Amino acid sequence: MILIITHKEDYTTDIVVNKLNQLGLKYYRFNTEDFIDKVTIDVNIRNDRIFPEVIINEIDRIKSVWFRRVRLPEIKGVSSPYEKTYIQNEVDMLFSNLWEIIDANWLSIPRKVYQAENKLLQLKKAMEINFNIPKTLVSNNPKSIRSFYFENNRNIIIKPVYHNRVVYGDSQELIFTNKIEEKHIENLDSFLRLPSVFQERIEKELELRITVVGNSVFSAFVNSQSDEETKIDWRRKKLQFSKFELPKKIENLCVALVKSFDLSFGAIDLILDKKGEFYFLEINPNGQWGWIEFDTGLPISDAIIEFLRKQI
């Protein structure tokens, strides 16, 4: 049995689920927002063993787990926002505890996924395995930011430490990577002192998304420099990705980085600069890849299924 932990709007999961159906492989898709209203969970603790019994379609033998996303349930019938927060925190903790006692082949272990979201640790580990990285400053100190700006020839970018979106009820806004201009430096003291990541701006030839599944590496590139609007951040427009032949040395670094976090999956962003050097930007331990497969035909979903079915 394959257990898939996700939510209803995770369309990347749909790609794999459709293929699992075609292959006739047994799985259960646990949309976590269904918990409480539509799904119950029993965890029986006895002297000889602890085992979860998720009362849905007779799941009794979970051999592989694909950890994609967790979306907490909407709490109905409770008016107090404090009580809603309390209940959601309890549910979140139950989920975290439950994942820890499922003894299975994970893609990937949830606590390892959360640890790998640490961007400072990402850069540290990337340096340790000899990836090139941009000069980086994480700061909310105007004096340090000014110094960094001038040390890097007035050519730096800014991006968030963690979240790249702000949620306003049912809507949200993306926070893109942006170039720091002279006017920003002149007015630093008037800005909210929010810690941010500042990096030297690398002159790009191409931007790459490398998807690692176990020991398999799938490389794609986008020519973000062909459009003025996407030169700093390619996510500002829908651009076409294409297959890329990544040097074996860089492939090995990507696999090594994923393994250094004890992950089985990672979506890595790289830059190829004008001189032919590769630079590591960041790794998303649970990154999206559906559009990469759609654009390029790279068999990422097949690799995920192969990983999950190893223990079945």
- Indicate the CATH number for domain 109-132+203-298+305-312: 3.30.470.20
**pLDDT one-digit tens code per residue, 145-204:** 999 999 999 999 999 998 777 776 667 778 888 899 888 888 887 776 888 999 999 999
Which residue matches tokens 């002159």?
A: 203
Least confident of 58-67, 118-127, 203-212: 58-67
User: Cis peptide before 264, with omega less than 30 degrees from 0?
Assistant: no
Task: Report DSSP state, residue 38.
Answer: T
Asked whether 283 and 258 are in contact (CB, 8 A), the reply is: yes
More confident residue, 254 or 235: 254
Categorize the per-residue pLDDT at 51 as very low, low, confident or very high, splitting at 50, 70 and 90. Answer: low
3-state SS string over 193-253?
A: CCCEEEEECCCEEEEEEEEEECCEEEEEEECHHHCHHHCCCHHHCCCCCEECCCCHHHHHH
Homologous superfamily in CATH for domain 135-201: ATP-grasp fold, A domain (3.30.1490.20)
Percent of the chain with pLDDT over 70: 93
Mean pLDDT taken over the chain:
90
Nearest to residue 68, comparing CAs of 16, 128, 18? Answer: 16
Q: Where in the chain is the domain with CATH 3.30.1490.20?
A: 135-201
Mean pLDDT of all residues in 132-147: 94
**pLDDT one-digit tens code per residue, 258-293:** 999 999 999 999 999 999 999 999 999 999 999 999
pLDDT at 193: 81
Tokens found for residue 49: 């063993």
pLDDT at 69: 92
**pLDDT one-digit tens code per residue, 216-238:** 999 999 989 887 788 887 788 88
Rounded to whole angstroms, the Cα distance separating 208 from 1 reads: 34
**pLDDT one-digit tens code per residue, 293-308:** 999 999 999 999 999 9
CB atoms within 10 A of CB 47: 5
Q: Given its phi and psi angles, is residue 164 left (phi above 0), alpha (psi -120 to 50 degrees) or beta? A: alpha
Q: In the predicted model, is pLDDT for residue 52 greater than 90? A: no
Q: Where in the chain is the domain with CATH 3.30.470.20?
A: 109-132+203-298+305-312
Q: In the predicted model, is pLDDT for residue 213 greater than 70? A: yes
Categorize the per-residue pLDDT at 103 as very low, low, confident or very high, splitting at 50, 70 and 90. Answer: confident
Nearest to residue 15, comparing CAs of 258, 303, 309? Answer: 303
pLDDT at 277: 98
pLDDT at 47: 63
Rounded to whole angstroms, the Cα distance separating 113 from 102 reads: 16
Residue 252 sits at φ, ψ, to 5 deg, of -65, -35
